[in-house]
Amino acid sequence: MIDLGEDPLKLDRQVCFALSVASRSVIGIYRPLLEPHGLTHPQYLVMLALWERSPRSVKDLGTSLRHEPATLSPLLKRLEALGYITRARSREDERQLTVELTGSGRALRAEAEKIPYQVVETLGMDVAELEALHAVLTRVIDATA
């Protein structure tokens, strides 16, 4: 058995607590950076996936973002209302919904490129530290997938 110290239930020793607080705190940094574009953090993640590759199916987006299609649907509707994406039935398979960036959605990428630099600056951490943190978090994600 792994020794977790004197009190394995102490709140500030819990990985889940640290991840939860860190997640909320980091997402809070994004909020004022995304607001001028009308984006929430979950919508920003969808845009990141689409900037990597567009068009994409809703199923493909869900896989990349680890979301169910039902979770993505309201995000996609809002992004479409903002004029950043279009949604249409696939010509090859009518059951599949395809999501594609609009000109406005593609243009937003140039503004969004500033966001990671602003987040790093706000965190006040070295890029190497953040890369190491990302690697550890990726291992956690892989271990729980």
Where are the domains positioned within the chain? Answer: 37-108, 114-145
- Using 50, 70 and 90 to split pLDDT, how confident is the model at 3? low
Q: How confident is the model at residue 1 (pLDDT cuts 50, 70, 90)?
A: low
Residues whose CB falls within 8 Å of the CB of residue 78, separated by 6 or more in sequence, listed in order: 40, 43
pTM listed for this prediction: 0.90
Q: What is the pLDDT of residue 127?
A: 94
Q: Where are the alpha helices (DSSP H) in 1-145?
A: 15-34, 41-52, 58-65, 69-81, 103-112, 115-123, 127-144
CATH number (2.60.40.10, 1.20.58.110, 1.10.10.10, 1.10.150.130) of 37-108 reads 1.10.10.10
| pLDDT over 70 at 5, yes or no | no
Mean of all residue pLDDT scores within the chain: 93
The 10s digit of each residue's pLDDT in 33-69 is 999 999 999 999 999 999 999 999 999 999 999 998 8
Note the pLDDT tens digit of each residue in 69-109: 889 999 999 999 999 999 999 777 888 889 999 999 999 99
pLDDT recorded at residue 4: 59
> Are 90 and 57 spatial neighbours (Cβ–Cβ below 8 Å)?
yes
Q: What is the pLDDT of residue 92?
A: 79
